[in-house]
Structure 1
Amino acid sequence: MTNYDSIYGPTIAQFIAMKTKLGFKFTTGKIILFQIDQLAHQRNEKTKGITKEFTQKWGEERSNKSEIYRYDRIRHLALFSSYLCDIGIPSYIPKLPRHPKSTFVPYIYSSKEINAIFKAADELRLVQRNMHSSLMCMPALLRVLYATGVRIGEALVMTVEDVNLEENYLRIKDSKNGKERIIPISTSLVAVCKEYRHYREQLPYKDRLEYFFVGSNGTKCGQGVRSWFKKCLNNAAIYHTGENQAPRLHDLRHTFAVTSLACMAEAGVDLYASLPILSNYLGHGSLGATNHYVRLTANMYPDLIKEIDMTCLDVFPKYKNYEAN
C-alpha cells in the first residue's frame, strides 16, 4: 500500500479507492497522484484545496518530458481538484491544454521478420545460470502474442486455468479495459503451448506454478521478457528505424491486427463486419480504438483493400492515439 506524506494523503487514498471500486484500473492516475502528494509535501502545504499557484507549479514544462506526459499530469490534477470540490473542499480546477497530436506509427513486422524472430527465440541460450530467467517461455510467449494479439501484460498474468488446451481457448481476465474475454486459438498454437507446458511441468516448483508463463524458478515472468525480445530483434537483424519507429514487443499486437484485417479482406469478409469481430478479439473498449488499423491496412495492402470506398475510409481517424500497452 502506498504511503502518502502530505495533507492530501487521506483524500488521495479515498479518491483512488472510489475509482477502483467503479472498475477503473487507474494505474497511471495512482502514479501521478503520488507525485502530487510529494509536491504538496515538499511545499509544506498546510490547508486542503488546490490553488492556482500550486497548479502552475505542477504544470511547468519539463525539458525531458513529452507533451503527452504534461497533458496527463494536468488532467489528473483536474480530476482530483474536481473531486475535492465535490466533497466540499474548494479547489482550483485547471484548464486542460490542447491534447498533443501523436506522430507515432506502429511498426508492423513482415512475415519474414516474424519467422526470423521466432527462429531467434528458439535459439536463445543462457550464458550463465540464472534461476530468475524468463528464457524458457520466450518461444511460446512470442507466438501467443503474435497469433492472438493479446497485450503482454494480459499474457503474463494468465493462470494455468486460463489456458484451456483441450477446448482451444485463452481466458483474459486482467485486461486494460477491465473486460473479461475468451479468445479461441488455432490447433497449431495449441501444439506450441502443449510443448511449452510439457517442459514447464519438469520444473521442481509444483507449488509455485500458478501462472502459465513462468521463469526458471517457477514464478511469473517479469521485465526480463523485454530484454530477451530485444536480443531476438538483434539476432534477427531487425533494428530501430528512427525516433518513434522502434520495433517493440507491443508491435506484435499491432501486427496481429493489421494481418487479421488483411486476411479477412482477402477472404471476402466485409470491412464493416470484420471491425466488430477484431475489436472484441483485441479487447478494445470501442470500435474507435480499432478503426486506426483500417487505414494502416489499406496503406500496406492496397490491392486487398482497393474495393473500399476511399470517401468512407477518410471517416476513420489517421495515425494517432495508438494504444501504448
Structure 2
Amino acid sequence: MNARGFTSAFTPQLEAYLAFKEKMGFYGASRIWYLKQFDVYCTTHERTVFDRDTVEGWVSQQLTRSGRYRSWMSYIRDVGRWLQAHGQRDAYVLSDRWKAAVVPAHPYLLNTDEIEAFFAAAATLNAVSPRRWQAVAFFTLMHSCGLRTGETRLLRPEHVHLRDRHLDIVASKGNRSRRLPITGEVTEILANCDRVTRARFGPTRGMFFVSAAGNQVTAATVGKMFNRAWDQAGLPRPVGAQQPRPYDLRHHFAYANVERWMAQGKDVMAMLPYLARYMGHADIESSFYYIHTSPEFLHAYAHLTTASQSLLPEVGFDET
C-alpha cells in the first residue's frame, strides 16, 4: 500500500513527484488533495497514459466543481513537466489556454491605529484556550518578524531560542532555512506564551503553538483567531473590497521597514537584500511584491518601478 492511497496506474509517478516536492520544501495538503482527485479519476476511467485526453478530461470534470477557481491546475501542469524532465517525453503538460486571467493581489494595508487595536483585543481574546494566550505571540511573529503563516504554525520549541534571542526557521519555502534575531520585547512575549503553554501541555510538546488537543495549529484556526481579534476590537470590514487577513501582518512588516528606512534617509535599494534574507525570499524580486504598495516607496522610486515591472513576480499558489 502506498503512503497516500493512490490506486491508479500513475501511483509510482505521483508518489515520486510528491517526494521530490517535499525535498524542495513544498508540503502543501492542497497539492496532495487535488492529485488524489486526479488519481481517482484515472482509476475510475481506466486511464493509463498521461496524455492530453487524460489530463484535460480530469481538468474538465474538476472545473464543474471548482468553477472559476483554477489555481489547482498548476499542480497537474507541474506533474507533466516533472514527468518530461524524468524521461517521459510524451507526458502532456496542460496548455496555458486553461489558465484563468491573472488577478492582481490587493492586500489590505493595515494602519497604525488598526494594528494597535488588533493587538489590544488579541491580548484579551474572548476565546477558549490556548488561543486566549497564544494569539498575541503568534501574530507578533508575523507583524514584528515578518514570518509566513505556515512558518509560525510549524515552529517547534527547539526552534525558539529565548536566551539567545533568535528563531530558527527550518526548511521553509523552497527548502530554505534561516536564523532570525528578535528584539527583547518579542522575546518577552514569546517567553510568556511558552510559560503558560508549558504549564498546560508539559515541556515536551511537539509544536511551539498548539491546539486545544496539543496538536499543530491549523491554517483554519489561525484565520478564526485573527477574525475573532479583529471583530472583538470593533474594527470595520470593507464592503466589497479586500478583507483583512493574517498574511497582511507579514505584508505590513515589509513596507513598514521600507518606510522607516526612507524616513532615516537610507538607500532602500541597498537595504532590500537584507529584507529579502530576513523574510526568506530567494531574491529581492519577491520583496517587491510586498513593498510596491507603499505610497511613500512608489513616490520616491516611481522611475524604478515603472521601468522594472518584470521585477514584480506573478503571485503563485504557494505563500511568498
Query: What interval of TM-score do these two structures reach, taking the shorter chain for normalisation?
Result: 0.7 to 0.9
Q: In the TM superposition, what is the alpha-carbon distance from 1:312 to its structure 2 partner?
A: 1.6
Taking the aligned partners of 1:260 and 1:322, their CA distance within structure 2 comes to 24
Find the counterpart in structure 2 of residue 212 from structure 1. Answer: 208
What is the distance in 1 between the residues matched to 2:52 and 2:136?
53
Structure with greater helix percent = 2
Q: Which region of structure 1 is more displaced relative to structure 2, 256-265 or 288-297?
A: 288-297
Aligned to 1:69: 71
1:314 alignment partner, SS class: helix
Structure 1: runs of 5 or more not aligned:
none
Distance 2:273 2:6 in 1: 43
Conserved in 2, the CA contact under 8 Å of 1:240 and 1:247?
A: yes
Paired residues of 2:286 and 2:313 also in contact (CA < 8 A): no
Q: Give the aligned partner of residue 31 of structure 1.
A: 33
- 1:268 alignment counterpart: 265
From the superposition, tell whether residues 248 and 198 of structure 1 become closer, same or farther in structure 2 (CA, over 3 Å). same
Shift of 1:183: 1.0
Question: Does the Cα contact within 8 Å between 1:136 and 1:215 map onto a contact in 2?
Answer: no
CA distance in 1, matches of 2:186, 2:283: 27
Deviation at 1:285? 1.8
What SS class does the counterpart of residue 104 from structure 1 fall into?
coil
Deviation for aligned residue 1:91: 3.4
Whether 2:307 is the aligned partner of 1:315: answer yes
- The 1:9–1:123 alpha-carbon spacing in structure 2 relative to 1, beyond 3 Å, is same
More deviation, 31-40/236-245? 236-245
> CA separation in 2, counterparts of 1:221 and 1:67?
26
CA distance in 2, matches of 1:18, 1:185: 33
Identity %: 20
Q: Partner residue of 1:51?
A: 51
Per the normalisation by structure 2, the TM-score is 0.85
Mapped contact 1:154–1:174 kept (Cα < 8 A): no
Q: How many residues align?
A: 310
Letter in 1 for 2:111: S
**1:116-161: CA deviations, max 9, x gaps?**
11111112134xxx67x43321122112211001012111221222
Q: Higher mean Cα deviation, 272-281 or 152-161?
A: 152-161
CA distance in 1, matches of 2:317, 2:46: 37
Which runs of no fewer than 5 residues in structure 2 stay unpaired? none
Task: Give the aligned partner of residue 3 of structure 1.
Answer: 5
Does residue 192 in structure 1 map to residue 193 in structure 2? no
Length-normalised TM-score, structure 1: 0.84
**Residue in 1 that maps onto 2:134:** 137
Partner of 2:96: 96
TM alignment of 1:294-313, pairs within 5 A? 294-297=291-294, 299=295, 301=296, 306-308=299-301, 310-313=302-305
Report the Cα distance in structure 1 between the residues aligned to 2:94 and 2:6, rounded to whole angstroms.
23
Given the alignment of the two structures, is residue 279 of structure 1 paired with residue 276 of structure 2, yes or no?
yes
> Do 1:105 and 1:244's aligned partners in 2 also have CA atoms closer than 8 Å?
no
What CA distance in whole angstroms lies between the structure 1 residues aligned with 2:265 and 2:21?
A: 43
Which 4+ residue blocks in structure 1 deviate beyond 4 angstroms? Answer: none
| Aligned-partner Cα distance in 2 for 1:68–1:32 | 11
* Paired AA for residue 176 in structure 2: K
Q: CA deviation at 1:68?
A: 4.1
Cα RMSD (Å) of the superposition? 2.7
